[in-house]
Structure 1
Amino acid sequence: MDILFLNPPISEHVYQNLSGGVATLELPVWMGMLTASMKSMGHSADQIDCAAESLATAQTYDRICQLNPKLICIVVYGQHPSASTQAMFGASYLCTELKKLDPTLKIIMLGGHISALPLRTMQDEACDFVCEGEGPRTLDALLQTDLKTISHLKKVPGLWYRDDGNIEHNPAAPLIEQKLLGTVFPEVDLKSLPMGNYKAPNWHCFDHIEQRQPYATVYTSLGCPFRCSFCCISAPFGKQGTFRYWEPEFIIKQFDVYAALGIKNIKIADEMFVLKEEHFLRIAELLIERKYDFNIWVFGRIDTIKPQHVDKLKAAGINWIVLGIEAFDQKVRTGVNKGRYTEEDIFAKTKMLKDGGIHVHGNFVFGLPDDTLETMQRSLDLAVELNLETANFYSAMAYPGSELYREAVRNNTELPETWLGYSQHSFDCKPLPTKHISSAEVLTFRDQAWSIYHNSPAYLNLIKTKFGQKTYDYIVNLKKINLSRRYSIDKVLAKASYE
């Protein structure tokens, strides 16, 4: 076999006691796309999802021995900005242990975090190579070499490698042109993947909380034209602002595959699906024509969703839209290049979606550079007032590949000591301090805010009324789970406005 892709295991340290059955288990869609890509280029390829199959390193190694690949590619690719870096804990462990078992294995690491920090990855990890960029052109060129001859390695675009102990790298491969997306990434290869194991986010299935599986993912576009400073989504694409999309008539075939497999819960992983009208509305039309009974969630923005979109999106099976509200204080949002909308817009657009039958998942970030305890309290108060079907509260992190990370490095800001420190739910979680408060205060406020929101009488009544007793009971049990934190303080910082 030419190449074997590995999705690294997920350590319980990443999610603590949420890993038992609460945490989402994502289809490794980028790995599936790369597998299909290599096959379309004439290479023999396969994939193993160590996370979904709960494989120990020895079991993974046994599978590797059976397949005997020329090259192993560990894919460290998150489907949201934090996921790639928090996956590094498992990826690093897997790479190190495989090399202990067989030092002759040739291993390349690839993904969002890897592209953000290619040199550090080469310095810190046991891999032989690093791919900086999207992957297909680098992997294709690398597989045409013997993986040893330096004069050949020097011609592989986007490759980092070692030459007599020195770390060298080549110029990045050019981005895949939009007209070639369907050729280079023809599909998500599902062969060898345990499709019944993937589990949707709990909120995605509030209408059917006991049926979170199966669950699948599809990209209809790549990149994002916006430049939010806390986001690292553009790391593998070379620059912020890059945006390409598959033609709707082509990408609908992936939805057809999922429908044939009986998969109901689907995530459209585009960083911003509700953006280019002729793209997402045409996909909605094609879904409506097929009359699939999908339960889809997508990302949107307050300033891109319009009234004329709602009915068509709902009819297409898009039942949830995740909105990056981030913070209610416009000065705080402007400080991270996300200040185009007002507080009034937030209330108007969320009401518009709710009235149209689309549930809203609000993402909020505490600890952005201009945040104070007062601005974070304002965000919490208004989140409670919005009373969305679900809300996720994040601590601001300097994710590698983001402008916040680059600023933190320039300013010698203290960052997490390990990649686990970038996981929102880990014991070692260590967010950025703001200009006004410490990282411990940010984290403590975040955890208290989560509890306050989910204990709101109005929220609990909404859940019971809209989704029923089973989902209400699920939320009540979820609230009993407490996260242990290394960097929190024993002090009440967040206050419930409804008390």
Structure 2
Amino acid sequence: MTLRTLFLQAPSFDGYDGGAGARYQMKREVKSFWYPTWLAQPAALVEGSKLIDAPAHDLSWDDIKHEADDRDLVILHTSTPSFRQDIRTAELLKARNPKLTIGLIGAKVAVEPTVALEASPAIDFVCRNEFDFTVKDVADGLPLGGIDGISYRDAAGEIVHNRDRAVIEDMDSLPFVSPIYKRDLTIKKYFGGYLLHPYVSFYTGRGCKSRCTFCLWPQTVGGHNYRTRSIAHVIEEVKYVQREMPEVKEIFFDDDTLTDNLPRIEELSVELGRLGVVWSCNAKANVPRKTLEIMKKGGCRLLLVGYESGNQKILHNIKKGLRVDVARQFTKDCHDLGIVIHGTFILGLPGETEETIEETINYAKEIDPHTIQVSLAAPYPGTFLYKQATENGWFDGSDHLLTDGGTQIAQLSYPHLPASLIFDKVEEFYRRFYFRPSKIGSIVWEMVRDWDMMKRRLREGVEFFDFLRRRKQAA
């Protein structure tokens, strides 16, 4: 008999996006929530399961505690910033229902399974690496000793690490996640400053061939081999969304870099164009114009692009595999074709100086994406950046990546560039990018053409200035 299973993203800071779809777990400059896709996927494999995403639905412990009463198994997603709070949730669940089996998933426990199990006796097992079918095996009642890909505490209290589970090669063997969203989530609770609302996001493949030193999921769970679903399989899920969730205005394909495989993205774009769907995706800033033209014709509205830095040496340092001049031409092509860009940048990466920060700010203003996100370099355990930073003494190796309120702090500090200065430069970056007459004009024009956008941008404006205020308090 299948265990009665609850998949849980635990309550957390107000406005904190710690979901299993969030690339970096933190409060952002404008409130946003990503779908907990990495929880929804195994939930789709387990008959009778339930998924609760507490942060996005503003649920407290008191709101969810009763869910433990009639369950056999709870799968908690955790991350480095939320780990201690998630452990506390696990302990509360176990105290309420001592018969519960509780397992943890996520990048944090994939790379530090022993640390996770030693943190609390409430944790019965953790899943390492790609965990969908691992969780299904547990839910199907298989003995923990015979399940690949887990670490657990045996009857004697000893920690046992089973052999690794092979990665999934047949991605079509995974069921759709959209029906789980529809069944268990309120989709209007999920939004981002640059996506149409409401939106839906899911993966068409896993893994990323790029070797960016800071990027968390490919180095811990997804791997560097880009494994893809068939085009037909993806299109069937898109049709499901169109049919069963007609209020959705945009589909975001959350593959690490969907555009890595040019023939596939071109074929997918043609099929999406036939459905008349509006869509967006992550993209590396090196997609040729020919492919961009096919994507635009197929309904692509927006690309989320990780520029990271405007300095070529820093891009080399982080193994980005991108040339600044290529990214500049790519951005010009997107502007010409009418493809909107949300650009992301990171301050404090290896090689950063006050001069390179200035170079990146000027670069962002020059290429002028429609919206931006500026983050601080985050040395998550399991990444090359973490190893590099601890070996060089750039930070103390702690897991304290956020303030007590959930706002990101500057972890890395260099002899020539202290963390406090890097932290302050984030606010300067935002102000200098957004407080330009041309940028203010484009945002105002966007607002006057659409009443819903007017209300949304006004709300985001309040959140943005509150974000700047919180950063001053955290400094």
Find the residue that maps to 1:355 and give its secondary structure: helix
User: Post-superposition shift, 1:49?
Assistant: 2.4
Partner of 1:285: 270
Contact 1:25–1:198 (Cα < 8 Å) also in 2: yes
Partner of 2:204: 220
User: Post-superposition shift, 1:270?
Assistant: 0.5
Q: Report % sequence identity.
A: 21
Partner of 2:288: 306
Give the letter for the 1:158 counterpart.
G
User: Post-superposition shift, 1:317?
Assistant: 2.5
Contact 2:280–2:301 (Cα < 8 Å) also in 1: yes
CA distance in 1, matches of 2:301, 2:126: 39
Partner of 2:9: 7
Change (3 A) 1:375 1:488: farther
Given the alignment, which residue of 123, 139, 147 partners 1:127? 123
CA distance in 2, matches of 1:21, 1:339: 28
Given the alignment, which residue of 36, 46, 49 partners 1:38? 46
Partner of 1:492: none
Given the alignment, which residue of 317, 320, 327 partners 1:335? 317
User: Post-superposition shift, 1:142?
Assistant: 2.7
Given the alignment, which residue of 463, 471, 481 partners 2:443? 463
Contact 2:75–2:104 (Cα < 8 Å) also in 1: yes
Partner of 2:421: 441
Q: Are 1:103 and 2:98 an aligned pair? A: yes
* 1:216-271 per-position Cα deviation (integer Å, ceiling 9, x unaligned): 11100101001000111224437x42210000101111111211211113221100
> Once structures 1 and 2 are overlaid, which stretch shifts more, 265-274 or 46-55?
46-55
Contact 1:365–1:394 (Cα < 8 Å) also in 2: yes
Given the alignment, which residue of 192, 201, 209 partners 2:183? 192
CA distance in 2, matches of 1:311, 1:433: 42
Unaligned runs of 5+ in 2: 18-25
Partner of 2:54: 50
Mapping of residues 83-102 of structure 1, within 5 Å: 84-88=79-83, 90-102=85-97
Partner of 1:366: 347
User: Post-superposition shift, 1:21?
Assistant: 11
Q: Are 1:28 and 2:36 an aligned pair? A: yes
Change (3 A) 1:257 1:487: same
* 1:54-112 per-position Cα deviation (integer Å, ceiling 9, x unaligned): 322233221232xx232111123xxxxxxx44443553342232123233321000122
Find the residue that maps to 1:61 and give its secondary structure: helix
User: Post-superposition shift, 1:416?
Assistant: 7.0
User: Post-superposition shift, 1:30?
Assistant: 1.9
Partner of 2:337: 356
Contact 2:29–2:463 (Cα < 8 Å) also in 1: no
Q: Are 1:173 and 2:126 an aligned pair? A: no
Contact 1:219–1:269 (Cα < 8 Å) also in 2: yes
Give the letter for the 1:224 counterpart.
C
Contact 1:422–1:431 (Cα < 8 Å) also in 2: no
CA RMSD of aligned residues (A): 2.8
CA distance in 1, matches of 2:463, 2:226: 37
* 1:467-492 per-position Cα deviation (integer Å, ceiling 9, x unaligned): 53727655654442224348965xxx
Given the alignment, which residue of 251, 260, 274 partners 2:259? 274
Find the residue that maps to 1:365 and give its secondary structure: strand
User: Post-superposition shift, 1:345?
Assistant: 2.1
Contact 1:331–1:370 (Cα < 8 Å) also in 2: yes
CA distance in 2, matches of 1:53, 1:458: 36
Give the letter for the 1:233 counterpart.
W
Change (3 A) 1:485 1:462: closer
CA distance in 1, matches of 2:309, 2:276: 37
Partner of 1:409: 390
CA distance in 1, matches of 2:250, 2:80: 26
Give the letter for the 2:193 counterpart.
N
CA distance in 2, matches of 1:190, 1:428: 28
CA distance in 2, matches of 1:51, 1:58: 13
Contact 1:26–1:198 (Cα < 8 Å) also in 2: no
Contact 2:300–2:339 (Cα < 8 Å) also in 1: yes
Change (3 A) 1:487 1:410: farther
Find the residue that maps to 1:274 and give its secondary structure: helix
> Once structures 1 and 2 are overlaid, which stretch shifts more, 333-342 or 458-467?
458-467
User: Post-superposition shift, 1:297?
Assistant: 2.3
Q: Are 1:377 and 2:358 an aligned pair? A: yes
* 1:261-301 per-position Cα deviation (integer Å, ceiling 9, x unaligned): 11113221100011212222222111111123x2x221111
Find the residue that maps to 2:429 and give its secondary structure: helix
Give the letter for the 1:459 counterpart.
K
CA distance in 2, matches of 1:436, 1:299: 33
Give the letter for the 2:56 counterpart.
A
Unaligned runs of 5+ in 1: 77-83, 147-151, 206-211, 490-499
* 1:288-322 per-position Cα deviation (integer Å, ceiling 9, x unaligned): 11123x2x22111122x111122321233321111
Q: Are 1:241 and 2:224 an aligned pair? A: yes
Partner of 1:141: 137
Given the alignment, which residue of 48, 61, 68 partners 1:64? 68
Contact 1:353–1:360 (Cα < 8 Å) also in 2: yes
Change (3 A) 1:401 1:363: same
User: Post-superposition shift, 1:36?
Assistant: 1.4
Partner of 1:73: 75
Give the letter for the 2:136 counterpart.
D
User: Post-superposition shift, 1:165?
Assistant: 2.6
CA distance in 2, matches of 1:448, 1:115: 36
Q: TM-score, normalised by structure 1?
A: 0.83
> Once structures 1 and 2 are overlaid, which stretch shifts more, 321-330 or 187-196?
187-196
Change (3 A) 1:47 1:92: same
Partner of 1:118: 113
* 1:126-178 per-position Cα deviation (integer Å, ceiling 9, x unaligned): 311100021133223334546xxxxx43321111111323222112101011x
> Once structures 1 and 2 are overlaid, which stretch shifts more, 475-484 or 318-327?
475-484
Give the letter for the 1:124 counterpart.
A
CA distance in 2, matches of 1:46, 1:235: 29
CA distance in 2, matches of 1:37, 1:396: 35
Partner of 1:495: none
CA distance in 1, matches of 2:83, 2:101: 18
CA distance in 2, matches of 1:13, 1:307: 38
Contact 1:430–1:487 (Cα < 8 Å) also in 2: no
Partner of 2:22: none
User: Post-superposition shift, 1:22?
Assistant: 4.2
Aligned residues: 455
* 1:422-447 per-position Cα deviation (integer Å, ceiling 9, x unaligned): 89x83462331246312221111112
Find the residue that maps to 1:59 and give its secondary structure: helix
CA distance in 2, matches of 1:354, 1:215: 23
